[in-house]
Structure 1
Amino acid sequence: MYYLMELWESVRDFIATGGDVLYVVMFVLFLMWILMIERYWFLLREFPRIKRDIIARWEARADTTSWYAHRIRDAWVSEANDKLNARILLIKTCVALCPLVGLLGTVTGMIAVFEIMAVQGTGNPRLMASGISMATIPTMAGMVAALSGMFFATRLESRVRRAKEALIDSLPHH
């Protein structure tokens, strides 16, 4: 319990140093990871059932060779593909949004530095350093968030593509 309190204090200090923009970075990161976890869950738990149902429906058909049968097959594959790719674009948007929100923090931090310089002059390096820190920490946080998301989003896209190909391969053309 004491460890969690220390961890929370560290997070609060980090956010205080980087500014309120870090809350936005944290929200985008949280949303991105919730969406990715949901997609991985879908791939591992839900999609195998959907795939089995499609294969069973295809194998139960008497006609699997006509043009009409192949259009039905293509429609089922397309529906499964839509389910597989749901929220992938939103995940990629969150990955792209993280560094942009970090740059917003850079701008607000630099504005704070310029305000300090306007009020105090350039003679107080400690106040200027806190503003520069406030400018660089959100950028770093946004980049780290984007990097973590980029790796897993790329792997997720690859798994989605392989799952679709496996579904297509399991529905013979005859």
Structure 2
Amino acid sequence: MMFYDAYEQVYLFTERGGDVVLAILGLIFLLWLFVLERVTYFTFTHKNVVKAVVNEWEARKERTSWQAHQIRLDLVASVDMALETNTRTIKMIVGLCPLFGLLGTVTGMIEVFDVMAFIGNGSPRAMASGISKATIPTMAGMVGALTGLFAQSLIQRYTKRQKAHIEDKLTFDH
């Protein structure tokens, strides 16, 4: 019964906000799918990647030559690339959320102007549907962007710490 109530509330929300809200909800779903992918990687895979890179570096007998420095840079870069996977996609989706909200605002205002042209200026009830279709997508886009920005910031901080951590683990001395 609780699932049905939640579904009904989402349906009413999208009905009041128009088709753009569905696109925004799709963007938010994708955003959190990528965020959860990053969290899953950090939780289950990253430690093994670091362990393999450290073991590869420690297995080298010689660590002071130019070639060894280049190999170390390559190892650090491979960990960095693994850490940065999908972070640009997350940033892009965070940037798209408010733009889709703005698109909803514009389409809602067009509906308001259509009603005003058809009925006239004096009917607030007739304009209410267009106004809700102008404000709800804006709110949904901003909520999606704010939550995504928070998650992106946490991911970025964690990635920066982990990169410094791997650079510290790969020492040059024997």
TM-score by length of 2: 0.97
Residues 39-66 of structure 1, C-alpha deviations (whole Å, 9 max, x = no match): 1111121111010001111111110111
Distance in structure 2 (CA, Å) of the matches to 1:57 and 1:7: 51
Q: Paired residue for 1:120?
A: 119
SS at match of 1:143: helix
Q: Paired residue for 2:159?
A: 160
- Residues 35-74 of structure 1: pairs in structure 2 closer than 5 A: 35-74=34-73
Distance in structure 1 (CA, Å) of the matches to 2:112 and 2:49: 56
Count of aligned pairs between the two proteins: 173
The amino acid across from 1:115 in the alignment is D
TM-score by length of 1: 0.97
Q: Paired residue for 1:91?
A: 90
Aligned-CA RMSD value: 0.8
Distance in structure 1 (CA, Å) of the matches to 2:33 and 2:142: 18
Residues 112-164 of structure 1, C-alpha deviations (whole Å, 9 max, x = no match): 00000111111221011221111001000100111011001100011011111
The amino acid across from 1:65 in the alignment is T
* Stretches (4+) displaced over 2 A: none
Q: Paired residue for 2:3?
A: 4
The amino acid across from 1:98 in the alignment is C
Unpaired segments ≥5 residues, structure 1: none
The amino acid across from 1:138 in the alignment is P
Unpaired segments ≥5 residues, structure 2: none
Q: CA deviation at 1:173?
A: 1.9
SS at match of 1:122: coil
The amino acid across from 1:140 in the alignment is M
Query: Is 1:77 aligned to 2:81, yes or no?
Result: no
Distance in structure 2 (CA, Å) of the matches to 1:4 and 1:47: 35
SS at match of 2:67: helix
- Residues 20-39 of structure 1: pairs in structure 2 closer than 5 A: 20-39=19-38
Distance in structure 2 (CA, Å) of the matches to 1:11 and 1:57: 51
